[in-house]
Structure 1
């Protein structure tokens, strides 16, 4: 008789996952500040940080989440006024928050650096252009690229600006080619930046672009799937290996996107990675810690920035199930798995961590492991 064995491999830092990845969300401890939307967020080490934002008033309180203990604790408040939709990022173990709209309804131009070792915020170089909110950003080589923003429009500002953390200076780059937009999704994979989607004041967009920091040029890539007909609402993404996972934001109907979509730099294409259902949200936070993705806070499934708001935090771990036919009913089976990644020698390294339930070995750090299952 032919026997079948189901082999479950948890791929924690990512070989290329295919579009049949299963739902992998797990609820974590709720945010202990007020439920809110349009927040600042960044990661440093094992900690995720969320603060500022809006819950009916403009907020400046800040909290950190410890991945190892699944607990939240307060840190020093952001020292400026409460901020609506600021720009936030981390570089070299420091967090940065700035721009945004203030509680006095002015466009902020200040930038502050948070040092977790001292729990102190320090002022950095002010933004030397017109301030704004709903900007998107990615970090490459200790530089943050800030893309498009609202200065109170429409029309919105299609500019691209760079903050160099090493020099503490700002400079301007070529404009974003997708038009006068706000609320794009943006992320970096390796040494390449990506941005797209967004809102022009009347319609959501789904065009996506790749940015080359060396030549200051943008190249069109595969658009966000047509079934979304565009995405806005400050969509956010986390990155695992060579994939970006877009999991917050609004679709063209104005509701929170019902499905998470990922962009694969191997196939240069998009696919649905998760049905979000009642955990969907707009204007939330998304970040990566130790090869796991997180989304938290934001507006509920209605996707509106005037609420209702949510305080939940969810962790995503991709999984794939492999079915292997056993053609030898008396012997053992040796199964060989191949991990695929797109990083080349100029990019960051990849750590592999496979778990094989019932296999020998039960764990492997090799890129292409072999595992024996006993009949």
Structure 2
């Protein structure tokens, strides 16, 4: 599913039926805390990156228009500030990443065309965008992006076919180079998080089927390692198929662990899963406290994880939540 032209009645019904907490809330660990709403218009499929402990979020789709505005979130102040708008064409389903103190946004969908352009953002006091060398892979949307050792990568996505290729960007030389593709598992609308110089790519769909294979990419060897499928979980008391495999989930990493939040998993899901690299296993955590959604944006600042924006059926959302994975659930905060 690619969230480009609205949402079906079936998903609307699923959204209305979804609960913000699972029946296992009292036995799961983790607490969600509501934070300052995004100050731009509600949207889905935005791009984001983090520079110097500030999160930057922009572009996306508000249900009518693709967008160009960009905003900075200060976690210490719990405040959003509008920044210079993205200088490329308005778009959704783009990728964002940061490296060497600058942010990057590229690829995506403008409502008519798949895109391959690529832009660099210099944070305040400069606060400006500059176009860089176009992405050398095919124009696409629904890709993932990550950075390792000040090199950027764009992988997977959809260009009319599902993809598993991987391209490296060098900001010093402003050049692209194709590197090793995923071992298998073509996909779009996947999730990625980075822990200790490795990027972990999971989730997504291909051929209208949720993908369950799972890989890590090493920033030193520049090779992929096949990990256990995402159905391998720590606690057999929970149904490992419950709200896991799917697409459009938010993701982030903090304190040496990765997190997958909400998304489309048969229907709208509020499930939250925590990945531990040392065991190559997943643990279910307390469900997301906001409305179950797709196309949300996840990021981590100062080892604090956040989820913002997204859509639940035809309703675009602007709320933001912080997750404490080790706290007891408190419904009143």
Q: Does TM, scored on the shorter chain, surpass 0.5?
A: yes
CA displacement 1:204-250 (0-9 Å, x = unmatched):
11211122344443222122233247534332311112200111422
Counterpart of 2:300?
288
Report SS of the residue matched to 1:146. Answer: strand
Counterpart of 1:171?
177
Contact 2:30 2:327 in 1 (8 A): no
Equivalents in 2 of 1:108, 1:44: separation in Å?
24
2:247 is the alignment partner of 1:239:
no
Contact 1:148 1:180 in 2 (8 A): yes
- 5 Å-filtered alignment, 1:298-317, equals 298-300=310-312, 304=313, 307-317=314-324
Equivalents in 1 of 2:48, 2:223: separation in Å?
27
- From 88, 92, 98, the equivalent of 1:90 is 98
Contact 2:185 2:213 in 1 (8 A): no
CA drift at 1:191: 1.6
Q: Is there any run of 5+ residues in structure 2 with no aligned partner, and where?
A: 1-26, 232-239, 329-333
Larger CA Rg, structure 1 vs 2 = 1
- From 14, 23, 45, the equivalent of 1:38 is 45
CA drift at 1:92: 2.2
- 5 Å-filtered alignment, 1:239-258, equals 239-251=253-265, 253-255=266-268, 257-258=269-270
Counterpart of 1:162?
168
CA displacement 1:231-283 (0-9 Å, x = unmatched):
343323111122001114221x132x221001101222100122125433211
Contact 2:32 2:289 in 1 (8 A): no
Counterpart of 1:135?
143
Flag the 1:267–1:201 CA change in 2: closer, same or farther, 3 A: same
Flag the 1:21–1:115 CA change in 2: closer, same or farther, 3 A: farther
- From 92, 113, 135, the equivalent of 2:120 is 113
Contact 1:183 1:199 in 2 (8 A): yes
Counterpart of 2:7?
none
CA displacement 1:165-206 (0-9 Å, x = unmatched):
232211111222233311111122112221122111311112
- 5 Å-filtered alignment, 1:326-345, equals none
Flag the 1:230–1:275 CA change in 2: closer, same or farther, 3 A: closer
Flag the 1:260–1:297 CA change in 2: closer, same or farther, 3 A: same
Equivalents in 2 of 1:297, 1:163: separation in Å?
28
Flag the 1:22–1:136 CA change in 2: closer, same or farther, 3 A: same
Report SS of the residue matched to 2:286. Answer: strand
Flag the 1:217–1:228 CA change in 2: closer, same or farther, 3 A: farther
2:85 is the alignment partner of 1:73:
no
Contact 2:210 2:247 in 1 (8 A): no
List structure 1 segments (4+ residues) > 4 angstroms apart after TM superposition. none
Counterpart of 1:28?
35
TM-score (ref. length: structure 2): 0.82
Contact 1:286 1:294 in 2 (8 A): yes
CA RMSD after TM alignment = 1.9
